[in-house]
Amino acid sequence: MYEQQSASRAYLSALEARLAADQCRTWWEDWAGAPVLIGRRADFKWRWAGTKLHLFTVAAAVPEITIPTIETFTEQVLAYAKKTKGGLPLGLQTGIGAFPLLVSDRVDPAAVRWAEAQQRNKWACMARPVVVDSAHQYVGSYRGTPAIGMAYSSYFEQKAMRYFYG
């Protein structure tokens, strides 16, 4: 068990380094007694119709990942991002992208399929949940091009490859 917890911690440490290497501001917070890694950056692109996208990567190690676990964490990450983004209101040339990431050595395969199935969208917010199975060294996340948020798809793919599959 200790080895598996160690694998989750090692993954989060490597993720923190990859986020920092990509010019993300990183820090740790305590969320209900659990340490959570947060990485944040903002990018502006004319091809996004002159929109500034605030990207939040929020990651934590948990004892087990199930659909309710990753679904609840995704909602918490989007609420956190909305609360802390600052600046212009969402939708006024500004939006939120989020990678809610959970890592564990005990992962329900249904949770992986849930993460891989689709991007989760809300008004001016897009989340691509990430499930990391540290026991099998498998990363599951949506890799497609959604109808809503299509313009940001290649950006999400580039960031996902850089952060999670390294």
Q: Where are the alpha helices (DSSP H) in 22-120?
A: 67-84, 109-117
pLDDT in tens, 16-41: 999 999 999 999 999 999 999 999 99
pLDDT in tens, 121-139: 776 778 999 999 999 999 9
Average model confidence (pLDDT) across the chain = 86
- pLDDT confidence of residue 4: 47
> For residue 91, is pLDDT > 80?
no
- pLDDT confidence of residue 113: 97
Q: What angle do CA 3, 164, 152 make, to 5 degrees?
A: 160
Rounded Cα gap, residues 153 and 44, in angstroms: 15
Q: Give the burial class of 47: count Cβ atoms within 10 A of its Cβ; 0-12 exposed, 13-18 middle, 19 or more buried.
A: exposed
- pLDDT confidence of residue 55: 94
> For residue 44, is pLDDT > 50?
yes
The HSE-up count of residue 11 (CA atoms within 13 Å, CB side) is 28
